[in-house]
Amino acid sequence: MSLLLIAMILVLLIPLYDAWKNDNIWQKMLAFASISTKTAILILFISVLRDDWAIGIVGAIVLTVGNAALMLLANIIKRMNET
């Protein structure tokens, strides 16, 4: 199971590299969406692994809040380009 988690963390590095190297703001937003979903899935996976409900509910909330934050930020950046 530990090996599977290490593999998930390595996959997490791919959008991290993209957010670092790509200068386009929308590509960065895509990387942010990818990372916030991946970290939430990792939290949920670990919660199942440890059979800990407290971590599990935090994972679910992080998954939801990540999406909401992304939508708010995307709206503001979109309006910046309009004016």
Partner 1 sequence: MNESYIYAIAALLPLTSIMLVLQVNPYSALVIRGILGAVAALLYAVLGAPDVALTEALVGTMLAITLYAVAVRSSMVMRLGVLVKEGEDGSRGELMTALRSIVNKRQMRLELVSYVDKEELHTALQDKDIHGTCLREGESYSIVMRLQRLYEMIQTELVSSSAILTYLENSDSQEKH
User: Nearest approach, Cβ of 51 to partner 1 (angstroms)?
Assistant: 13
* Nearest approach, Cβ of residue 13 and partner 1 (Å): 8
Rule CB under 8 A: which residues touch partner 1? Answer: 2, 5-6, 9, 12, 16, 19-20, 23, 25, 28-29, 31-32, 35-36, 39-40, 42-43, 46-47, 54-55, 57-59, 61-62, 65-66, 68-70, 72-73, 76-77, 79-80, 83
User: For residue 28, what are the contacts with CB-CB under 8 A and spacing of at least 6?
Assistant: 19, 22
- Positive or negative, the Cα torsion across 27, 28, 31, 37? negative
Rounded distance, CA 44 to CA 52, Å?
10
